[in-house]
Structure 1
Amino acid sequence: MSELVAKRYIKALKSDLDNDSLISLSEIFSELALSFKDENFKNVISNPSISDSDKTNILLDAVKSAKSDKVNNFIKLLGENKRLNVIPSLSVALKKDIAQSTKTYHGVVYSDNDIDASVVKNLGDGLGKKYDSQITLDFVKSDFDGVKVDVEDLGIEINFSKSRINDQIIEHIVKAI
């Protein structure tokens, strides 16, 4: 439900803001969305005994350093419509929308072995050419037995599991015998 509401707000924002402003707004709302991970903060925002104007003022104080009337007015609009809880969904949807419009995506390479940074960059460049996008990848050492590439916003997940490859080799040898 909140994703649909978030998309409507993004559509309205896109008609009013240029791409650079949307990116700045996305950064601000990403920071606000982090606040919603704190249980005490969520309790305050969802508490019916705290007025909507007080909740809105808390968020306005949090974004005061941005010095943006558009951000302030948008937060006031969310507060007036009792939609402050949509901020985390709005943050995610706004990031996805910007990524799609700029064709710039971020992904992660997981492996239990260290992978050279140049290999990770080349992998991102290769995927970028294939999908006509700019893809930057970060390496994260994990317990995955092989290599896994995940670019969530593009829906790309590629993995090469050592155990699966070994099983396929054994299966191929057994069939050959």
Structure 2
Amino acid sequence: MEELIAKRYIKALKNSSDIKSMANMTIIFKTLSESFQDTKFIQVMNSTDVSNEQKLEILLASVKSVKSETVDSLIKLLVENDRINIIPALAEGMRKDATNTSKVYNGVVYSDTDIDKKIMKDLSSGLSKKFDSNISLKFIKDNFDGIKVNVEDLGIEINFSKSRINSQIIEHIAKAI
């Protein structure tokens, strides 16, 4: 639900801002959303003992140094509508939107065996061409029996399991006999 509400705010921001402003707001809201990982901060923001004016003062003080009327107005609107808790969803939505706009994605390759840097580079360039984007991949050694490539923001997950390939080969041979 929060993501849907955040998308509406993001759409309105995109319509009234340029790419550079959106990138700056993304950084601001990402930093602001990190405050929501602190339990004391969440308690203050969810407390009925703290007035909306006090919550607004806290949030505006945290972004005062950026001197952005758009950010201040958005925070005022969120406080007015009791939607302070969507700030993390708003930050994540803005990050995804910026990623989609710039077409620069990060992915992860999982495998139980080390993968050569040249192969990683080839995988990255192949996926980049296929999806008309700039995709950089990072290797993480894992107990996955094969290779798994995951680019979450693009919704891509490709995996080659050694055991699955072996069973398919056996099935194919059994059918041929």
Partner of 1:40: 40
2:148 aligns to what SS in structure 1?
Answer: strand
Letter of the structure 2 residue corresponding to residue 44 of structure 1? V
For residues 28 and 52 of structure 1, the distance between their equivalents in structure 2, rounded to whole angstroms, comes to 21
Percent identity of paired positions between Structure 1 and Structure 2: 56
Partner of 2:146: 146
Match status 1:9 vs 2:6: no
For residues 119 and 59 of structure 1, the distance between their equivalents in structure 2, rounded to whole angstroms, comes to 47
Partner of 1:168: 168
Partner of 1:102: 102
Partner of 1:87: 87
TM-score by length of 1: 0.87
Partner of 2:137: 137
Match status 1:56 vs 2:56: yes
Partner of 2:114: 114
Query: How large is the RMSD of aligned CA atoms in angstroms?
Result: 2.0
For residues 56 and 146 of structure 1, the distance between their equivalents in structure 2, rounded to whole angstroms, comes to 51
Question: Per-residue displacement from partner, 1:62-108 (whole Å, max 9, x unpaired)?
Answer: 33343433323322221122111111111121122222222222222
TM-score by length of 2: 0.87
Q: Structure 2 stretches of 5 or more lacking a match?
A: none
2:107 aligns to what SS in structure 1?
Answer: strand
Question: Per-residue displacement from partner, 1:129-157 (whole Å, max 9, x unpaired)?
Answer: 11111212222222222211111221111
For residues 37 and 170 of structure 1, the distance between their equivalents in structure 2, rounded to whole angstroms, comes to 50
1:49 aligns to what SS in structure 2?
Answer: coil
For residues 125 and 48 of structure 1, the distance between their equivalents in structure 2, rounded to whole angstroms, comes to 53
The count of residues paired between Structure 1 and Structure 2 equals 177
Displacement of 1:36 in angstroms is 1.8
Partner of 1:74: 74
2:166 aligns to what SS in structure 1?
Answer: helix
Q: Which moved more, 1:14-23 or 1:40-49?
A: 40-49
2:37 aligns to what SS in structure 1?
Answer: coil
